[in-house]
Structure 1
Amino acid sequence: MPLITAIVPSPRHPGRFTILVDGKSHATLSLDAIERLGLAVGGDVTGLEERIEAEAARLKVYDRALNMLAFRARSSAELARSLVRKGEPRELVDHAVARLQEQGLLDDAAYAQSFTRMKVLGAQQSRRRVQQELARKGVARTVTDAAISTVFEEEGVDQRAIVEQAARKKLRSLTKLDPVVQRRRLYAFLARRGYDSEDIRHAMDAVQREP
């Protein structure tokens, strides 16, 4: 009859506990799982092995996901893809993602707003470029559009002013070029950032008129 001989804090996983059965490490679980399964020192684990194994497997993937989020913010889809690429079972990944979302630790709307602020205010990227990048990260278009609208409104973003600022900065590195070549390269640079043609032409005319 396999008996639990000890339940001790895991030295490698803070907040987790190692279950020892007959003196040997059997599984690492959360306190919630231990209470839910009714595990206690001296208890018999006969008939509980599969449930213990399932809880341990879910916790392992959840903790891995948590560590990845601690290292860098990610969208739900991006996190799921990374975990699957690392070999985690899709079912356990979906469970971990859903749990993190319920806990408010994984929020695509908040992530999209933070990403938009960084890219628009910091890197001077266009609305279209941000939409493209968030789409690649698996953020729903409705979530992306709402995030961009919120950031533009809260920060008072003037897209044309941003294009002009980017054009002005780039133009400094093109001053030695022929005006025609200069204009062509400046246009290409701004187009790669996703700005629309009307805003690009407006910005180029504005900065090239400056002394």
Structure 2
Amino acid sequence: MNNRYSWGRKSQKRKASSPAHEANEFQESNESGEQSWEQEEEVEEQADLLEDFPEHEELEITGVEQARWPRLHYKLFFGELKLIVHEDVMIKYRMLKGYSFTKDALRDIMAANKLQAAYASSIHYLSYRSRTRTEVARKLKEKDYDEHVIETTLDRLESEKLIDDSLFAEQWARQRVRTQKKGKVWIRQELRQKGVQPAHIEQALGEIDEDEELVSATALARKKWNGTSGGWLDKKRKTMAYLMRRGYSSDLIRRALAAIEEEKID
């Protein structure tokens, strides 16, 4: 063998066989679907540790079998030993039945496999909805990927614009104001919990139209006021407390209540 890594050197006694390709389709899902995926995305059988493989030998792949989980993974048999690799890695390194590899080659391949598996897992996680860099990092840590793999994966996702905290903050803030009728105080806290940098948060909040936020606050105030029993001061106190819990600033609450009081006077 002339080079260190025998990248898929074919044995003469066997014919190569190509694996069937699955369509990598990601669809929107509800929270129950996401939870179901979390429960099912487990390796059905743990692969043997690479340390169990013999040194200084060419190890021939004696069988290839598609794994049920994780998706797009295959079990590669080396006699009684086996590894589980992502389909993309298997194709890239021509890991087909009858091909042989050194242990050094397999060590490098499995390092590449960790990166690909982390990337594929992140893509699946992102398929349910947009996430922040911190959210994806947390998910990968839960799956026991090391820091190098996590950071490399996050950098790749950012370079491909699959995660973008600035855009995420902007879209999140707009959605929370328009459909959830939440105030900037609430939104700021949510984005902090999601790990968005302060600069991105303030930029996103700065793009919220103040008049639009006031309209949302006034609509909530009107609904709360009309649904609250008691006298004028009691209604005002309860409505003010309600708007504060929704994350509106004191100034915005004052303006919303002033609009409600004006309506009642008129």
**Into which bin does the TM-score normalised by the smaller protein fall?**
0.7 to 0.9
Q: Is 84-93 or 101-110 further displaced after alignment?
A: 84-93
What does residue 243 of structure 2 align with?
Answer: 190
**Pairwise CA RMSD:** 2.7
In the aligned structure 1, how far is the partner of 2:211 from the partner of 2:190? 19
Bigger RCO (CA 8 Å, 6+ sep): 2
SS in 1 for 2:127: helix
Q: Deviations over 1:89-136 (max 9, x none)?
A: 333222222222222222212222221122110111122321221111
Q: Partner letter of residue 85 of structure 1?
A: E
1:206 is aligned to 2:259:
yes
- Picking from 92, 101, 120, the partner of 1:45 is 101
SS in 2 for 1:194: coil
Indicate the structure with greater helix content. 1
- Picking from 66, 74, 87, the partner of 2:131 is 74
Contact kept? 1:27, 1:53, Cα under 8 Å: no
Q: Partner letter of residue 43 of structure 1?
A: Y
Contact kept? 1:19, 1:29, Cα under 8 Å: no
Shift of 1:17: 4.8
Contact kept? 2:89, 2:112, Cα under 8 Å: no
In the aligned structure 1, how far is the partner of 2:151 from the partner of 2:211? 36
In the aligned structure 1, how far is the partner of 2:90 from the partner of 2:196? 32
Shift of 1:192: 1.9
SS in 2 for 1:72: coil
1:141 is aligned to 2:188:
no
Distance change >3 Å, CA 66–CA 49, structure 1 → 2: same
Contact kept? 1:27, 1:56, Cα under 8 Å: no
Shift of 1:39: 4.4
What does residue 163 of structure 2 align with?
Answer: 106
Unmatched 5+ stretches in structure 2: 1-57
In the aligned structure 2, how far is the partner of 1:210 from the partner of 1:193? 22
Unmatched 5+ stretches in structure 1: none
- Picking from 196, 209, 234, the partner of 1:181 is 234
SS in 2 for 1:44: strand
Matches within 5 A, 1:143-158: 143-150=200-207, 152=208, 157-158=211-212
1:3 is aligned to 2:47:
no
Shift of 1:27: 2.7
What does residue 115 of structure 1 align with?
Answer: 172
SS in 1 for 2:151: helix
Q: Is 136-145 or 55-64 further displaced after alignment?
A: 55-64
Q: TM-score, normalised by structure 2?
A: 0.66
Size of the alignment, in residue pairs? 206
In the aligned structure 1, how far is the partner of 2:248 from the partner of 2:192? 17
Q: TM-score, normalised by structure 1?
A: 0.81
Q: Deviations over 1:28-81 (max 9, x none)?
A: 13435642x464543321121211221222233222222222233221112212
Shift of 1:162: 2.2
In the aligned structure 1, how far is the partner of 2:151 from the partner of 2:182? 32
In the aligned structure 2, how far is the partner of 1:32 from the partner of 1:109? 32
The percent of aligned pairs where both chains have the same amino acid is 23
In the aligned structure 1, how far is the partner of 2:112 from the partner of 2:122? 15
Q: Which of these two proteins has the greater Rg computed from alpha carbons? A: 2
In the aligned structure 1, how far is the partner of 2:170 from the partner of 2:113? 34
Contact kept? 1:33, 1:55, Cα under 8 Å: no
Q: Deviations over 1:133-176 (max 9, x none)?
A: 111111112222233344x36xx8533222211211211221x2
Distance change >3 Å, CA 167–CA 38, structure 1 → 2: same
